[in-house]
Structure 1
Amino acid sequence: MNNDAGTHRHGGDRRRLRGAIAYLAMLVVVATVVIPLYFVLITSLKPRPDIYTQPVMWFPDEIIPDSYTTVFTAVPFWEYLRNSVFITAVLTVVQVVLGVLSAYALVFLRFPGRHAAFLFILASLMVPKEITVISNFALVAQLGWTNSFAGIIVPLAGVAFGAYLLRNHFMSLPGEVIEAARMDGTPPMKMLWRVVLPMSWPTVAAFTIITIVTEWNQYLWPFLIASNEKVAPLPVGLTLLQQAEGLTNWGPVMAGTVVTMLPILVAFLLLQKQMIKGLTAGAVKG
């Protein structure tokens, strides 16, 4: 009896210790995310002299919105916002559609070279995008697409990650449902819309959210291609905002950062459950 009681007590102590470690790890992760966000927000609300005060003032005496006024007046902010919305919307639609169709073909259609095509997709995921920047830029310049939406959108429209993610999910779908649809003579596109997608909306939604966040924050490629405010997105506009001041005035830059990330932050907070459900659906079924 004493041994059982001691074992139970030690087991309870280990569970409490694991729980405490888990909570500590969670606090570290939350602090890692929240502290930089707070620093950006509070810097955007400081008077200019307080921004450069050493040590850093985490709780300034005065809060002013002047930096946000500068964001909307020093650069054509609304044009940059419009461009970002357009580029993100087009890329999201293109990548989701191509990702769904590519994954469906890789899983449910039989054609020569199917496995080689999937290996090629995996290989493309291992190549850093920076390696292809020079060749893509040369091609876009030869096509005359610099300072155009086509020059920004077309090179970013690849769907390797989406095809990989959705393929893995489609492979986890109940095989008996797919076979029943095939035995009923369901055409491929009808099976996609009536059978496969209704069981896959959480994963498709997760991929959509990931795509929106990724494309909204694209900087390097649009910065190389677009120097005109008629096509440049918000991240590039923030760079021009910094240059417009003549020197780095971090207040407007931080204010622009807050305004830029706010739509994505709100979207993520509203849709995070759907995203987590979609990313874990395949793992749970497996």
Structure 2
Amino acid sequence: MEEKLQEIHSWLERLFDGQPVPQYEVNATTMNMLENLYKLNQVCDNDAHNLIEDVKQKALEYSYEALRLSTILSTLGLDKSSLSQSGNVSLNNLAKIALILKLKDTSISSYYCGIHHLARDTRSVERMHNMEKRLIDALTIKHRDSIVKSSALKRTLRELTDHAAETEPKLEQRLRETAFLGRKSQEYQKIITELKKANKEVNMDPSLYHSNLVKRAKDLQMLKEELAPLQAKWKSYHSLPADISLAKVKLEEAKQEMVRLEMELERRIGSI
């Protein structure tokens, strides 16, 4: 435990680089947390050290390669000092392009591969751009539709609000009337109950009840409707004579009148 504590404390001193180490409580939980941090820090330090060493090694290799290429170019009379200004500019541009394309070397095949990868990435970006543009267009249409629907809903809400403001007094009046009618209904129900009780006390004839009177009125109306054709038939008999002999006289007079009318008709036809 003491050895672990001393190791962690030394690590904290190196970590704070001469600054005072903050006070901390020494217990099992704290020590476990600090130990885990210490191990994780060691792993990160080792990774960083390895990365630095790798970069140094690559830098050294690039220096040797640059020196080798410079020697070859000098031997061929193509060193940088022998190039024209435009040649130096072109060389610098090639170097910048190689860095931008992240080429492993400056061979023509590497440039071709880098340009191919760049073109592929460009097409991919264009496809993504077109997809996003279509998505934006669709969202724009939906947004416009939402605005139209929102305007319609707001207009409907205003109309409903105005209608509610107009109908609210009527509703309140109807509520008051309903409450009044409810109270009246209760009063009438109470009166009906009292009247029924009074009817039982005075032994009132059930035939005089309203329901029975209504039924009798309906029966009377039906009888009147049945008697109407009988009364019409009975009235038609009033125009006939009461005696059979008088009826025969009336019939003879009618025949003579008919003969007279026929003769008059023949006379007028002959005169025409």
TM-score by length of 2: 0.20
Answer 1 or 2: which has greater helix percent: 2
Q: Bigger radius of gyration, 1 or 2?
A: 2
Which is bigger in relative contact order (C-alpha 8 A, separation at least 6)?
Answer: 1
